[in-house]
């Protein structure tokens, strides 16, 4: 395995997902890893179609797509549908060419030790809950007028499982505290300081603290994350932090370019550490 394509949030944007699969093929990356907000909305017809299209294009491009969960991915449904369908590396098989990395999952590619920690707080939680309430009112009116079964509305726009709890984070770290080379997350670690940050509400900070605990426990050389929709590089201690941009429809900085949303990671990483492990 030569290189891995890492991408920021896709948000179910089929055009952007297909463009990135072309980038993966061009850059000779057999794997593409999405750092949350992939677009896991299979409780909707559009979400199912999105999975099917990405899977079909990935097959044609000979690229396997992996993702961890963001705050806008319905991870409870992923476990419900695919929790018993694990590949030999421990990923959930959502389609032949689409795999989900559960929170705390660890694996090794080309001698490089990875761990994934998904989840984050939604700054638009109030809007999403209000929109669900409006949907519920409309569904109730249709039911009263005898228009058939009442569709589910709760948990369709905001997902209660969107972020880790402290107990979940502590249990995952206690289960395997061994260091990793690369930590993949959706949220930023608390100590990272991007030049532009719209995720700085007080409600955002507890999950950032959990990611910070993961950094301190696992001591990665590199951490990559999405969520901010902003491309930046920072250094916290011995860990280099790379924040990736999102799909164009969700990106706000005026100087955004599509290349802000992806990064090619040569493997093994870091090369010298991998060589030392091989010698040992």
Domain spans of the chain, in order of start:
3-121+164-279, 123-157
Owner of token pair 């017809």? 45
Q: Is 12 exposed, middle or buried (0-12, 13-18, 19+ CB in 10 A)?
A: buried
Are 164 and 104 within 8 A, CB to CB? no
Tens place of pLDDT for every residue, the chain, 280 residues? 689 999 999 999 999 999 999 999 999 999 999 999 999 999 999 999 999 999 999 999 999 999 999 999 999 999 999 999 999 999 999 999 999 999 999 999 999 999 999 999 999 999 999 999 998 888 777 777 766 565 677 899 999 999 999 999 999 999 999 999 999 999 999 999 999 998 999 999 999 999 999 999 999 999 999 999 999 999 999 999 999 999 999 987 678 899 999 999 999 998 765 455 443 3
Bridge partners (DSSP) of residue 113 are 108
| Burial group, residue 167, by CB count within 10 angstroms (0-12, 13-18, 19+) | exposed
Domain 3-121+164-279: top CATH class: alpha beta
What global pTM score does this model have?
A: 0.94
């Amino acid at each position: 395995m030569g290189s891995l394509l890492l991408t920021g949030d896709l948000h179910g944007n089929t055009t952007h997902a297909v463009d990135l699969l072309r980038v993966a093929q061009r850059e000779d990356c057999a794997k593409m890893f999405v750092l949350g907000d992939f677009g896991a909305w299979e409780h909707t017809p559009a979400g199912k179609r999105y999975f099917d299209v990405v899977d079909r294009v990935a097959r044609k491009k000979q690229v396997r797509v992996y993702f961890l969960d963001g705050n806008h991915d319905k991870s409870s449904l992923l476990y419900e549908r695919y929790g018993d369908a694990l590949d030999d590396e421990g990923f959930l098989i959502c389609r032949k060419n689409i795999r989900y990395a559960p929170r705390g999952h660890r694996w090794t590619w080309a001698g490089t030790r990875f761990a994934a920690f998904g989840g984050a707080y939604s700054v638009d939680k109030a809007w999403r809950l209000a929109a669900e309430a409006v949907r519920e009112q409309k569904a109730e009116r249709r039911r009263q007028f005898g228009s058939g079964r009442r569709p589910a509305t709760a948990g369709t726009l905001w997902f209660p499982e969107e972020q880790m709890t402290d107990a979940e984070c502590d249990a995952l770290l206690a289960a395997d505290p061994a260091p990793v080379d690369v930590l993949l997350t959706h949220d930023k670690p608390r100590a990272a300081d991007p030049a532009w940050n719209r995720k700085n509400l007080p409600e955002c900070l507890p999950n950032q603290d959990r990611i910070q605990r993961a950094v301190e426990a696992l001591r990665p050389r590199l951490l990559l994350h999405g969520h901010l929709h902003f491309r930046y590089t920072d250094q916290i201690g011995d860990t280099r932090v790379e924040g990736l941009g999102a799909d164009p429809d969700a990106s706000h900085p005026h100087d955004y370019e599509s290349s802000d949303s992806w990064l090619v990671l040569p493997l093994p990483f870091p090369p010298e550490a991998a060589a030392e492990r091989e010698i040992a």
